[in-house]
Amino acid sequence: MPVSNSTETDAARALQVWAEYQQHHDISDRMGQTVGIDPVSGRVWFGQSATDVVQKMKGEGTQATLYCLRVGRDYYVHKGRHR
């Protein structure tokens, strides 16, 4: 199934926001946590899981498309076989 251009654009923007965030904030104490990035507003939320991040965001009354990553990784879930 092809990915839409808006999804690719949102992902690229979210990665840009995340790179800029890391330049200005010490994230060493957040390694392994989940970060949710809103590519439109540039806001970030942290939590133990994507569900936790969404709950925090909704608790603030915010609704946005999120791009989630694990802090310290360039992905959220790594799929693959176990060795």
pLDDT at residue 3, rounded to an integer? 47
pLDDT at residue 1, rounded to an integer? 43
The residues spanned by each domain of the chain are 5-70
Write out the two tokens for 11. Answer: 């992902």
Torsion sign over Cα 34, 73, 6, 42: positive
Q: How far apart are CA 41 and CA 38, in angstroms?
A: 6
pLDDT at residue 6, rounded to an integer? 65
pLDDT in tens, the chain (83 residues): 444 456 889 999 999 999 999 999 999 999 999 999 999 999 999 999 999 999 999 999 999 889 999 999 877 765 556 55
pLDDT at residue 83, rounded to an integer? 56
